[in-house]
């Protein structure tokens, strides 16, 4: 093999390695980072998504929560579109509900507890109303038993709102 | 005056009227839409700003609240920049805290109550730590007496955080 071919081979190998690295980064995936049952992973950039609404969860959970939506979900909310279209994604961020040290009547976010996602893909998740679910604690998916509870509750309580509890905060 | 000059004059007048109309639209201003003392108006598009943090205000106000920030404010939070730079704007949205009809442990937003803004302009608002304040109810500014309370409280309680109560929710 001539030197020029060796050089080309080296470049090709380096390119492949770079491409592989980029694929991993673009997915944001590591082994074990997807939710059981659904295979939902934490979407890149979800913390910058638009506000749908806050909520307060009473004790024993005792949490402050905010639901954010990606642009597809926000557009559906603004237009009153039901069911949500494929590509809609919702994120629910939760923190412990702790007293503000600076303003007595207020409670504010303490430690983050869970981050949860609903991802609409009507073909992939046909058996669960088109929704895939993912619940994450410290960036790691919760176990399968926890994920078995998601759809049953959403289906039983808010089927008529396409299995989504949260309404747009006016 | 020749006809051509009259036509040019008519065009000039029409252009001025259009320009004036555009200025009004760009400002989002109507008579009486600016807060007393500070002259703060409701910023266009604030409902799409990024989440800083939620909060819960105990009775008697009994509200759920969310603070959102414009891109300048969000960048300052992410970088830990204090004081906030000129151009930073914060919005606090508030709703009545009402029980969810669909999930007993949860409380969700009821009717919107107030929308409040803090606008950083270190020269314009030099006398109040660089911040202008605006509190709006149904799109109309609250009265001057309410606006007199803003700075005194922020200055007394959170001067060391550049007069801003809300921290970034992790």
Question: With 80 as the cut, is the pLDDT of residue A31 above it?
Answer: no
| Rounded alpha-carbon distances, angstroms, from residue B4 to B10, B18, B38, B39 | 10, 21, 47, 44
Task: Determine, for residues A106 and B58 on separate chains, whether the beta-carbon distance falls below 8 Å.
Answer: yes
Cβ pairs bridging A and B (under 8 Å)? 103
**Residue for token digits 């949500």?**
A84
Give the sign of the dihedral formed by CA A85, CA B109, CA B75, CA B118: positive
Q: Tokens standing for B107?
A: 């409380």
Task: Determine, for residues A169 and B65 on separate chains, whether the beta-carbon distance falls below 8 Å.
Answer: no
Question: With 80 as the cut, is the pLDDT of residue B6 above it?
Answer: no
Question: With 70 as the cut, is the pLDDT of residue B138 above it?
Answer: yes
Q: Tokens standing for A133?
A: 């679910």
Instruction: Say whether residue A138 is in contact with chain B using an 8 A CB cutoff.
Output: no
Tens digits of residue pLDDT in A53-94: 999 999 999 999 999 999 999 999 999 999 999 999 999 999
Residues 6+ apart with CB under 8 A from A141: A32, A33, A34, A35, A36, A134, A135, A147
Looking at this predicted complex, what is its ipTM? 0.82
Tens digits of residue pLDDT in B15-58: 434 333 333 334 444 546 999 999 999 999 999 999 999 999 99
Q: What percent of chain A has pLDDT over 90?
A: 81
Instruction: Say whether residue B138 is in contact with chain A using an 8 A CB cutoff.
Output: no
**pTM reported for the whole predicted model:** 0.83
Q: Whole-angstrom Cα distance, residue B82 to residue B161?
A: 7
Q: Kindly tell me the burial class for residue A103, based on how many C-beta atoms sit within 10 Å of its own C-beta (0-12, 13-18, 19 or more).
A: middle
């Amino acid at each position: 093999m001539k030197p020029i071919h060796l050089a080309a081979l080296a470049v090709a190998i380096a390119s492949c390695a770079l491409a592989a690295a980029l694929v991993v980064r673009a997915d944001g995936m590591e082994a074990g980072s997807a939710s059981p049952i659904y295979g939902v992973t934490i979407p890149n950039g979800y913390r910058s998504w638009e506000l749908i609404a806050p909520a307060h969860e009473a004790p024993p959970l005792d949490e402050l929560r905010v639901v954010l939506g990606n642009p597809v979900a926000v557009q559906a909310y603004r237009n009153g579109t039901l069911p949500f279209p494929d590509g809609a994604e919702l994120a629910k961020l939760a923190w412990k509900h702790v007293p503000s040290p600076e303003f007595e009547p207020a409670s504010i976010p303490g430690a983050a507890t869970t981050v949860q996602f609903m991802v609409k893909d009507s073909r992939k998740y046909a058996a669960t109303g088109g929704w895939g679910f993912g619940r994450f604690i410290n960036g790691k998916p919760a176990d399968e038993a926890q994920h078995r509870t998601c759809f049953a509750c959403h289906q039983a309580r808010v089927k008529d709102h396409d299995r989504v509890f949260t309404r747009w905060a006016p």
